[in-house]
Amino acid sequence: MSAQKIAFIGLGIMGLPMAVNLVRAGHTVTGYNRSPQRVDALVGKGGLRGGSVADAVADADVVITMVPDSPDVEAVLTGEGGVYESAKPGTLVIDMSTIRPDIARTLAATGAERGFRVLDAPVSGGEAGAIEAKLSIMVGGAQEDFDAARPVFDVLGTTPVLVGPSGAGQTVKAANQLIVAGHLQLLAEALVFLEAHGVETEAGLEVLGGGLAGSTVLQRKGKGMRERDFEPGFRIALHDKDMRIITDSATAAGVAIPLGSQVAQYVAALKNQGHGGLDHSALLKIVEQLSGRDQ
């Protein structure tokens, strides 16, 4: 794979290890982040420092954005000194954030009008998947742009899939977040149930994981939930945003998601209780509260 000049905007929990993996693959990666300490960490791994979005993207072949929410992506791409104003025409722009599908479609159309090739490519796998380069990448956009981005995707994940036109990647990611939230909620309920009956939960989860109940959620989140270790790999505040995307999109499409809507309320409740900075596996707290077992 030929080395490319990549600008990486957004070096958070997910973005920093993704950018580091691109450096390790031989690319020239210039990073920008609102918190400069995260850029320091990238530079320490062989990346370059971007003084601003405009500075980072000016000479890039590929621009990747990985920021928290739809308004953040809009500001980075279309704002003053943003990507569309500062990057070279023809640059491949890949938004790997999780945002509203309608916003992704609008940003792709705006980018195309200005001569950019734009993909929405949100990811699943959490911090561990980002570190291990085992992310699932769901991509919306044109086939030729996906093909051009494939060498980059192959560095970051094991399952890059073109799922449809612009916005389709974000739609699939919304479905992903719906499923993950449901799995977390049921895993939390199962753990509290097992504990109430005096079952040793390490052994209980081991055997559950080997059967039909097994899942990546159980594998990656079970131990932390058992130990009440909610160090964030993916924060409640971000999953709350994602659940609002899925519930709003479902309403717009006239689709009923009764279980998803209930879990969305639990996620929102945790955020409103001040737990937005905890890992989304902290849904366990809600089950404990409802069961009168919280401490």
The beta strands (E) that lie in the chain are given as 5-9, 28-32, 48-49, 62-65, 92-95, 117-120, 123-124, 135-140, 157-164
CA distance 266 to 181: 10
Which three-class secondary structure string do you get for 154-220? HHHEEEEEEEECCCHHHHHHHHHHHHHHHHHHHHHHHHHHHHHCCCCHHHHHHHHHCCCCCCHHHHH
Do the Cβ atoms of 46 and 23 come closer than 8 Å? yes
Residue identified by tokens 């300490």 is 37
CA distance 77 to 116: 11
CA distance 281 to 69: 21
The SS3 assignment for 67 reads: coil
Question: Catalytic residue positions?
Answer: 173
Beta strand 135-140 with 157-164 is parallel
Q: Nearest-CA neighbor of 29 among 53, 49, 51? A: 49
Q: Nearest-CA neighbor of 6 among 82, 58, 74? A: 58
